[in-house]
Chains A and B, each alone.
Chain A
Amino acid sequence: MKTVKSQFKFKGGVHPDYNKELARDKAIERMPVPAELVVSMSQHLGAPAKCVVKAGDFVKRGQVIGEKNGFISVCVRAPADGKVTAVEKRLGPAGGKADAVILDTTAKEEGAGSGEQGTPILPPLDWKTATREELLKRVEEAGICGMGGAGFPSAVKLNPPPAKRCEYLILNGAECEPYLTADFRLMLERADRIRVGVEIMRKVLGGPAVRIAIEANKPEAIAAMEKAFADIEGNVEIVVLPVLYPQGSEKHQIFATVGRVVPEPPALPIDVGCVVENVGTVAAIADAVEKGEPLLERVTTVSGDAVAEPKNVLAPSGTKYADLVAFCGGEKEQPAKVISGGTMMGFAVSTLDISTTKTTSGLLLLSRKRVFQYESGPCINCGRCVRACPMNLNPAEISKAVESDDVKSAEDAHVMTCIECGACSFGCPAYRQITQLCRRAKASIRARIAAEKAKASAAAEKEKLKSQPVLPEGATRGSK
């Protein structure tokens, strides 16, 4: 095990105000289970889970309330004991509505014993003796998905197609988003869990080299990981990355640690032999295997200058934002903007009546002072966005094309490669909403592709019917 400096620097990137000092020294605090939880069935990337409970049911902590629904999907388990008061569509942080189970955690089932506290939900496994299949199954049934933001199902990531070999397992501890300190605290306080998680994942992936990527502005985390991994065997390195946004992006992390470039979508990191997992996910995998504890809660940073007491909160997924804020001493002043996630890639939300999910890394309440109201103007061709873009795109060209409804030109300019990191909008002196325009183009291209696919499959179906002529029973082709 050794600590090395990153040999590769990606092009572009920006330096936003990090403002991490608000919450970086606050130890992770466990929040008491709130009276009401709203557990979304769509907490991950892919198909939403299929709800299997109905209003009036009593559920136990850890009980499956949403079943895995498709290949790219994970199950959802009840984060606490309680009674299901309703199953209805609720607004999620990104704006879409999804089925959610509303749990009243104060209701007690009559005759139910309360003495089961402390018994594991799933039988604990010894990762050293368990088979690869057992471990994979455990990750799947524990409902674990990537906790960095996108929420890609971990069991799928850990089980690459046989033709593709994983050479590097990269642990993402960059946390380049401003304000957020959840992963930082996790690396400080739960370094031993992360180590166990790494050993489990290494076994599942067939012994790849391990790279732990941490930005240079977190020396305490680097020290903690060095200590935890000091006596590990095999090819393990801690890679200290330069402080640069978006260092935590999967593709940029792969480049910064091992110098490989992931080709344009639909290529995945596994195509260049890499699997990247967030440190939170790794700790969750360790808990799921060793303690039999499914993914029911996560660390969320509640921060911003409008929160009385910024904290790193360990809260059950499904906690309402309003409860989170109340746990952190409430609002210091009326927030002008509430962001779910970090300031660069998070979602602005209009109400605190939204609940956390497995991917909620932060909740930021910003005062009027920190929120800049602007009017965007025309592009002045300065080229700052081109310099800032870490994906080597030309955001100016793309944004102008989308503005004039020319999505085709945007597509030709590779807008689908855009990772929506926001570096272009961040530096634009004309305050143009370039990222938003890119998102619009991507959405319409995706819609078009989906429509084309549907059309093609319908045509194929028709063709299939045509090629199977209905012959009278007993008749053979060509008979008279």
Chain B
Amino acid sequence: MATAILIIAGIGMVAAVALAVADRYLSVKEDPRIGMVTAELPGANCGGCGFAGCDGYARALVAGTAPNGACAAGGDEVAKAVAKILGVEAAATERRVALVRCCGTRSEAIRVGDYNGICDCNVAAMTAGGDKGCTYGCLGYGACANVCPKGAISVHDGLAKVDKRLCIGCGKCVRACPKHIIELVPASATIHVLCANPDKGPSVRKVCGVGCMGCHLCEKNSGGKEAGHFTFQGFLAKVNYDNPPTDGAIVAKCPAKCMVEDSHFESGH
């Protein structure tokens, strides 16, 4: 009995000494700021900053290889807190949220076939470009909703919508969409053009009841070309988010009905 106790105690002593020595000579010095920065970050591990999780971003911040303000989920507050720890300037950031640039619901946009395959936009897009007549529009099989870490995207009536209050702007949906119609826009912008079809008016009308025809009325009603609230790509109007329009009256004047004020955009839940 006594021998056993002695042996165990002996092993314990040797191990304790070894551990103490290891702690003294083999310890890895880590910048304590990494832990502090990680604590400030939201911890969603969404990857929106381009690094592997919040810890990866914190390390890059401390190493000075990443710009402060890349964390879309944290926004200004986090950028300021990080700036305090690291003693750097906080770049002014604007909260950005995802926007699905399509408003062709099942009742408005023509479906040209019965798609009977796997419920995933990427697969549907590989099958004759999807079942929607408009080859640019939202297919509504929820590839974006499936990757959203916050459950901010829901699909209603064949159309994905983003809940602005829940969206953290990580951009995962932007990469998941096979039609490339999801965009990160400033959360403060209230007026959006929900169409991505740059074709001529008549061919848009053939496939969708609410497609942009490029009539330029929105531009005219918002102060003309000089005001610069809109840009045009083919026959498609795009809101210039560097200088977004604020007058809600132009929305009702859009003859194609593809322009919305914020309410639409928040109706996810």
Chain A residues in the interface with B (C-beta under 8 A) = 91, 93-97, 347-351, 373-374, 405, 433, 436-437, 439-440, 443-444
B122 and A444 within 8 A (CB): yes
Task: Let me know if B127 and A437 touch, CB within 8 A.
Answer: no
A350 and B135 CA atoms in complex are apart in Å by 12
Which segment of B33-41, B74-82, B113-121 sits at the interface? B113-121
Closest to B147 in A: A405
Are A437 and B118 in contact (CB-based, < 8 A)? yes
Query: CB distance B118 to A93 under 8 Å?
Result: no
Q: What separation, in Å, do the CA atoms of A91 and B125 have in the docked complex?
A: 12
Sample of 12 A–B contacts (CB below 8 Å)? A91-B135, A95-B128, A96-B129, A97-B129, A97-B135, A348-B128, A373-B114, A405-B146, A436-B117, A436-B118, A440-B126, A443-B126
> How many inter-chain contacts with C-beta < 8 Å in the A-B complex?
47
Pick from A91, A95, A405: contact of B126, CB below 8 A.
Answer: A95
- Which residue on chain B has the smallest CB distance to residue A399? B118
Interface residues on B, range: 10 to 19
A439 to B178, CA, bound (A): 14
Of chain A, the residue at the smallest CB distance from B131 is A350
* Chain B positions within 8 Å of A373 at CB level: 114, 116
CA distance A474 to B114 in the complex (A): 72
Roughly how many angstroms separate A283 CA and B127 CA in the complex, as a whole number? 31
- The smallest beta-carbon distance between A215 and chain B, in angstroms, is 28
Binary contact track B117-147/A, C-beta < 8 Å → 1, others 0: 1101011011111110001000000000010
Which residue of chain A has its CB nearest to the CB of B123? Answer: A440
* B120 adjacent to A440 (CB under 8 Å): yes
B112: Cβ under 8 A from any A Cβ: yes
Assess the A350–B118 pair: CB atoms within 8 A: no
Contact B118 A349 (CB under 8 A): no
Give the complex CA separation of A374 and B116 in angstroms: 8
Most A CB atoms within 10 A — which of B118, B120, B125, B130? B118
Of B114, B116, B118, B127, the residue contacting A95 (CB under 8 A) is B127
Q: Which 10 A-B pairs have the closest CB atoms?
A: A95-B129, A350-B113, A350-B112, A95-B128, A440-B123, A349-B128, A436-B118, A350-B128, A433-B118, A436-B117
A114 to B123, CA, bound (A): 49
Q: Who on chain A is nearest to B114 by CB? A: A373
A347 to B114, CA, bound (A): 14
Q: A97-B135, A437-B118 are in contact. List 10 more A-B contacts (CB 8 A).
A: A91-B135, A94-B128, A95-B129, A95-B130, A96-B129, A349-B128, A350-B112, A350-B131, A436-B123, A443-B126
Which residues of chain A have C-beta atoms less than 8 A from B127's C-beta?
A: 95, 347-348, 436
Please, which residues of chain A bring their CB within 8 A of the CB of B135? 91, 97
